[in-house]
Amino acid sequence: MSGSKKPEADRRFAKFGTVSFTATTKVNDFIGYLEEGQVCGTKCVTCGSVFFPPRAQCYKCRDKARIEWFQVQGSGKLATYSELKYAPTGFGEDLPYAIAVLDMGGYKLFGRIGDVPLDQVRVGMELTPVAHELPGGQINYVFNRC
């Protein structure tokens, strides 16, 4: 996989999440893929490290790193979660919602529970990460039933 890179003006990451806090990153292609419906991580071909969240740099290989994108596929096990009764500034409209960690085996994802009713969420259940459009042109990913 590859993606276009516009170092000077690439602020795509401002689209990530209900409220985005940072816009400039070398892994902005994550947003490009997400908009195409793909949740992607990166791997370093040199050493085999798998990165989620994705990274454009590998601390094991430094200048010898070769970074490529890969698509997160299949399902994982819910490692833990919490349902929020209060939300930080800007997230009030989203309540109630749950944040969670999904264990994909070789790596984990931090994100939100998607289409599971909150009273049915259980640690250990199988869920799948999927791209998710938000109001106002924003986008994130959520963990849905398989």
Residues that bind Zn ion (CB under 5 A): 44, 46-47, 49, 58, 60-61, 65
- Rank residues 67 and 142 by Cβ distance to Zn ion and give the closer one: 67
Q: Which does 99 bind (CB under 5 to 8 A by kind): another protein, Zn ion, none?
A: another protein
**What's the min distance (Å) between Cβ of 125 and another protein?**
11
- Residue 46 interacting entry, from another protein, Zn ion, none, C-beta within 5 to 8 Å by type: Zn ion
Tell the smallest beta-carbon distance from residue 138 to another protein (Å). Answer: 8
With b for 16 or more beta-carbon neighbours within 10 A and e for fewer, the 101-116 pattern comes to bbebeebebebbbbeb
Distance CA 112, CA 6 (A): 29
- Residue 1's binding partner among Zn ion, another protein, none (Cβ under 5 to 8 angstroms by kind) is none
Gap between the Cα atoms of 82 and 99, Å rounded: 6
96 prior amide bond cis, ω within 30 = yes
Smallest distance, Zn ion to C-beta of residue 102, A: 24
Closest approach, Cβ 35 to another protein, in A, equals 15
Of 131, 124, 39, 142, the closest CA to residue 76 belongs to 124
Please give the DSSP secondary-structure letter assigned to residue 51.
Answer: E
Q: Footprint of another protein on this chain (CB under 8 A)?
A: 7-8, 10, 13, 16-22, 24-26, 52-53, 55-57, 59-60, 62-63, 79-91, 94, 97-101, 107-112, 123-124, 140
Query: What is the spatial distance between Cα 74 and Cα 130, in angstroms, rounded to a whole number?
Result: 10
Rounded to whole angstroms, how far apart are CA atoms 79 and 102? 6
